[in-house]
């Protein structure tokens, strides 16, 4: 079983095919979206507010489910049977760290994922320590998350999924609400995470340019453009048309 | 995640929708008091009350059965009265785990169930035909203390925000509820309970902090503890007459009940 999983995970791709999603109120949020992210690739998902970016990301570890279209993560189709496994592989970092951090203390939040996976205690402790060290928040384990700054919360939020040692990281607007220094820290942090496939939804064109070689433009629930980030970010017309702007 | 927390108002243009909200509030309160005061063994009276409420539901184009079904949601709360079955003296009809259920007790319990179901239908009629803002000014012009009206209004406004907040917390938990090969996932019951407890605590802290922000924003706009509202429109005599119709029906049912069925 372990052998099988490792073989499957040897390519941690994100594959989305013909995904459509309608909210219960009838609004079409995703309209026939297809998207592939290769192993260890970092892809930026850009688009205006309400374009369906967050909705797409919520599908990637089964928080939202749609009857139309298929999603495969690390080669494994997303279905009821694989849901637990996929949630362990895919670390989803929400836009608002207040949503991500639901425990009173930092330590409890970072330990939640590994504890839920049923890992032995020593392993959980080691992972929490490693995850907090990676985001540079090693001294914060016993702090009350409620009192941290937004930048600190953001890093803790990333630690809460790193402790699960995910193969795929999905980040929703990671730089939203950060001051320039916290933003620089975040970009450096994400750049140093080389073991993970990443899909980053953002309005921050410079972050996209710095981190991602490829970008996908989503608008009105459809993929309207896709290509090397450099090309996309230099196409002023395209960006203008879809509510974005050139970074420089 | 499915919360049965939702807006009850059903937009419409029926006679019931258009009726002055002050009249609707008063009629609803009187109906509820009347329902509760029905003598407990007056079974025909319950049927008539149901017909009365159902008739109002049809008048409001809400659907007779739908109203009855929706009111059923509140029934579990009246289970608190289940002890009446065992504590009311009377003839034994049944034994459950050595406890005696009396006929009088059973009847009283059934009456409580029926009364709460009917009373909830009356309240739903009001909620389904009156926009919440109208209810608020109606309550205010019926001399309910300003502070109380403000609290009800704010509670209603933020109830849905709170629900969304709770939903997002649960979504975050679900997103990290993974499993690993060769390990039993999910954790122990005690641990899950502690996590849930932490979530409730976080929710409380956030609500508390939000309330302070909201209050600051209200102060910044000149709030002095009084909600200012436009003057309510004058009460028209047609509305009063219309409101009198269900009350007259209620009075007749109560008279019949007191005279023959009590």
Write down the domain spans for chain A.
97-165
A84·B195 Cβ contact <8 A:
no
Contact A156/B at CB under 8 A: no
How far apart CA B252 and CA B134 sit, in angstroms, is 30
Contact A146/B at CB under 8 A: yes
How far apart CA B190 and CA A51 sit, in angstroms, is 41
Task: Give me the mean pLDDT over the A204-222 stretch.
Answer: 93
* pLDDT-based confidence at residue A170 (cuts at 50, 70, 90): very high
pLDDT in tens, B187-239: 888 989 999 998 999 889 888 888 888 887 777 776 766 666 667 788 888 88
Nearest-Cα residue of chain B relative to residue A115: B187
**Residue B80 CB contacts under 8 Å (≥ 6 apart), including other chains:** none
Helix ranges, chain B (H): 15-18, 21-37, 43-59, 64-72, 75-78, 84-87, 103-129, 132-141, 146-175, 189-220, 237-256
pLDDT surpassing 70 at residue A132: yes
Contact A89/B at CB under 8 A: yes
pLDDT in tens, B34-67: 999 998 888 899 999 999 999 999 988 888 888 8
pLDDT surpassing 90 at residue A46: yes
Of the residues B178, B189, B194, the best mutation for testing chain A's interface (the one with the most A CB atoms within 10 Å of its CB) is B178
Counted across chains A and B, CB pairs separated by less than 8 A come out at 96
Residue B83's pLDDT is what?
Answer: 85
Residue A3's pLDDT is what?
Answer: 42
Residue B227's pLDDT is what?
Answer: 64
pLDDT in tens, B99-133: 888 888 888 899 999 999 999 999 999 999 998 88
In what helix (H) or strand (E) does residue B235 lie, and over which residues does it extend? none
B156 vs B125: which has the higher pLDDT: B125
Cβ atoms A171, A201 nearer than 8 A: yes
Of the residues A117, A156, A163, the best mutation for testing chain B's interface (the one with the most B CB atoms within 10 Å of its CB) is A117
Report the DSSP beta bridge partners of residue A200.
A44, A171
pLDDT surpassing 50 at residue B2: no
Give chain B's length: 262
- The single residue listed with the structure tokens 């016993």 is A142
Residue A9's pLDDT is what?
Answer: 47
pLDDT surpassing 80 at residue A248: no
How far apart CA A17 and CA A32 sit, in angstroms, is 8
Q: How far is CA A161 from CA A92, B195, B202, B210, in A?
A: 7, 16, 19, 27
Residue B31's pLDDT is what?
Answer: 95
Transcribe B153-196 into DSSP letters. HHHHHHHHHHHHHHHHHHHHHHHT----TTS--S--HHHHHHHH
Cβ atoms A216, A35 nearer than 8 A: yes
Residue B124's pLDDT is what?
Answer: 92
pLDDT surpassing 50 at residue A5: no
Cβ atoms B177, A91 nearer than 8 A: no
Q: Which bin fits A148, alpha (ψ -120 to 50), beta or left (φ > 0)?
A: beta
Residue B134's pLDDT is what?
Answer: 86
How far apart CA A47 and CA A236 sit, in angstroms, is 14
Closest approach of chain A CAs to the CA of B4, in angstroms? 15
Give the pairing of strands B99-102 and B92-96: antiparallel
B 123-142 → A contacts, CB under 8 A:
none
Cβ atoms A55, B171 nearer than 8 A: no
How far apart CA B78 and CA B73 sit, in angstroms, is 11
Write down the domain spans for chain B.
15-130+246-261, 132-172+202-231
DSSP B64: H
pLDDT surpassing 80 at residue A4: no
pLDDT surpassing 90 at residue A98: no
Q: Which residues in A lie closer than 8 A to residue B175 (C-beta atoms)?
A: 61, 63, 87, 92, 94
B180·A119 Cβ contact <8 A:
yes
A36 vs B92: which has the higher pLDDT: A36
Maximum Cα–Cα distance for chain A, whole Å?
54
How far apart CA B238 and CA B236 sit, in angstroms, is 5
How far apart CA A226 and CA A212 sit, in angstroms, is 12
Task: Give me the mean pLDDT over the A91-113 stretch.
Answer: 88
Helix ranges, chain A (H): 2-9, 53-59, 83-89, 97-100, 106-116, 121-134, 150-162, 180-192, 205-211, 229-234, 236-241
């Amino acid at each position: 079983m372990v052998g099988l999983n490792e073989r499957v995970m040897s390519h941690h791709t994100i594959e989305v095919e013909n995904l459509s999603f309608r909210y219960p109120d009838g609004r079409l949020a995703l309209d026939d979206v297809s998207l592939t992210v290769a192993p260890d690739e970092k892809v930026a998902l850009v688009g205006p507010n309400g374009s369906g970016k967050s909705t797409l990301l919520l599908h990637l570890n089964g928080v939202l489910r749609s009857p139309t279209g298929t999603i495969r993560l690390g080669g494994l189709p997303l279905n009821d049977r694989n849901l637990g496994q996929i949630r362990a592989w895919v670390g989803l970092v929400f836009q608002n760290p207040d949503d991500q951090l639901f425990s009173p203390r930092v330590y409890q939040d970072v330990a939640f994922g590994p504890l839920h996976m049923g890992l032995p205690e020593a392993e959980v402790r080691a992972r929490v320590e490693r995850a907090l060290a990676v985001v540079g928040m090693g001294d914060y384990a016993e702090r009350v998350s409620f009192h941290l700054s937004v930048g600190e919360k953001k890093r803790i939020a990333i630690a809460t999924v790193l402790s699960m040692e995910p193969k795929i990281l999905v980040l929703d607007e990671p730089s939203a609400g950060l001051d320039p220094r916290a933003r620089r820290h975040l970009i450096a942090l994400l750049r140093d995470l080389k073991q993970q496939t990443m899909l980053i939804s953002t309005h921050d064109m410079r972050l996209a340019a710095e981190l991602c070689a490829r970008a996908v433009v989503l608008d009105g629930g459809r993929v309207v453009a896709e290509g090397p980030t450099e090309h996309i970010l230099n196409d002023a017309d395209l960006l203008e048309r879809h509510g974005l702007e050139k970074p420089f | 995640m499915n919360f049965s927390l939702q807006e009850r108002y059903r937009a419409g243009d029926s006679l019931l929708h258009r009726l002055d909200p002050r009249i609707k509030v008063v009629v609803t309160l009187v109906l509820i008091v009347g329902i509760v005061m029905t003598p407990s063994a007056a079974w025909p009276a319950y049927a008539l009350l149901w017909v009365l409420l159902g008739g109002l539901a049809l008048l409001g184009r809400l659907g007779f059965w739908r109203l009855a079904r929706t009111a059923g949601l509140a029934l579990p709360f009246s289970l608190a009265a289940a002890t009446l079955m065992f504590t009311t003296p009377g003839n034994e009809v049944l034994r459950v785990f050595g406890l005696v259920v009396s006929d009088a007790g059973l009847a009283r319990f059934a009456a409580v169930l029926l009364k709460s179901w009917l009373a909830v239908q009356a309240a739903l009629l009001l909620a389904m035909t009156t926009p919440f803002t109208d209810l608020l000014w109606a309550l205010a012009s019926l001399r309910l203390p300003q502070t109380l009206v403000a609290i009800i209004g704010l509670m209603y406004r933020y109830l849905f925000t709170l629900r969304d907040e709770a939903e997002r917390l649960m979504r975050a938990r679900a997103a990290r509820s993974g499993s690993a090969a060769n390990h039993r996932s999910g954790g122990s019951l005690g641990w899950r309970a502690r996590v849930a407890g932490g979530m409730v605590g976080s929710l409380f802290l956030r609500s508390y902090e939000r309330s302070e922000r909201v209050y600051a924003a209200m102060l910044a706009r000149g709030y002095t503890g009084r909600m200012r509202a436009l003057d309510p429109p004058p009460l028209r005599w047609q509305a009063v007459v219309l409101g009198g119709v269900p009350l007259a029906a209620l009075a007749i049912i109560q008279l019949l009940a007191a005279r023959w069925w009590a």
